Amino acid sequence: MFYRTDQPHGLPHNPFNALVVPRPIGWISTVDRDGRANLAPYSFFNAVAYTPPQVVFSGTGPHGAGGGLKDSIQNVIDTGEFVCNFVSVALDEAMNQSSSAAPRGVDEFEVAGLTKAPSELVKPPRVKESLAHLECTLLQVIELATLDPVAAPNRLVIGKVVGVHIDDTVLTDGRVDMAKLRPLARLGYMDYAPITEVFEMQRPSWPPGA
């Protein structure tokens, strides 16, 4: 099939999300201006640069019927800081619990039964149960194209990673061991998948065969 994105596709659910997969989950913790913690997963999340290390996440839509940006994005704009908490398979239910559209000011750490751990360089707390964390400071917020700036505002957050936490239990011979880390990947619709098998390929030399 083929469909134009500005016309109905005729399917029961939007296939776009199911075609750009697998995606890492950005489990973003922030605090608001009053110091209240917020935690939410974002499926549009990735690393985008090595030096300095940078990550991005984006959110679509207002905060509930009252409008306004999603809490995570508004908090980052207000405070300039956030933490990316790693989502392993063991934390799937807790991550999902933190995705509900709770009213502003609700502490999703408590909703999901998670423990706050202090960060080293930023104010937002980390998810203690997570096996890795990226402490980030805001570099830029970009207003993306949208069909409705009120009902569906799109914002892209670019953050500089200023601190990295890695649980020693997932290190093998100085490398992060995926079999121990067990990342959870976001697929399309409401689908997820564990990373259970890993293989390695060396980058080819140039010219070929050299």
Q: What is the pLDDT of residues 59-77, one digit of tens each?
A: 987 665 556 688 999 999 9
Q: What count of residues does the chain have?
A: 210
**8 Å CB contact between 110 and 141:** no
Flag whether 209 is in a domain. Answer: no
Burial of 77 (0-12, 13-18, 19+ CB in 10 A): middle
Flag whether 1 is in a domain. Answer: no
Q: What is the pLDDT of residue 22?
A: 94
Q: Who has greater pLDDT, 153 or 84?
A: 84
Read off the pLDDT band of 146 (50, 70, 90). confident
Could you report the per-residue pLDDT of 111-130, keeping only the tens digit for each?
999 999 999 999 999 999 99
CATH number of the domain that 181 lies in?
A: 2.30.110.10
**8 Å CB contact between 19 and 2:** no
Flag whether 27 is in a domain. Answer: yes
Q: Who has greater pLDDT, 155 or 68?
A: 155
Flag whether 207 is in a domain. Answer: no
Q: What is the pLDDT of residue 67?
A: 63
Domain that holds residue 142: 16-194
Q: State how many domains the chain has.
A: 1
Q: What is the pLDDT of residue 36?
A: 96
Q: What is the pLDDT of residue 65?
A: 56
Flag whether 201 is in a domain. Answer: no
Q: What is the pLDDT of residue 105?
A: 84
Predicted structure pTM score: 0.93
Residue 150 has pLDDT above 90, yes or no: no
Q: Distance between CA atoms of 147 and 97, rounded to whole angstroms?
A: 29
Could you report the per-residue pLDDT of 12-37, keeping only the tens digit for each?
999 998 999 999 999 999 999 999 99
Q: What is the pLDDT of residue 66?
A: 58
116 Cβ contact partners less than 8 Å away, ≥ 6 residues apart: 37, 109, 125, 126, 127, 128
Q: Distance between CA atoms of 89 and 151, rounded to whole angstroms?
A: 33
Q: Who has greater pLDDT, 106 or 138?
A: 138
Q: 150: which 2 tokens?
A: 């009120």
Flag whether 199 is in a domain. Answer: no
Flag whether 38 is in a domain. Answer: yes
Could you report the per-residue pLDDT of 159-198, keeping only the tens digit for each?
999 999 999 999 999 999 999 999 999 998 999 999 988 9
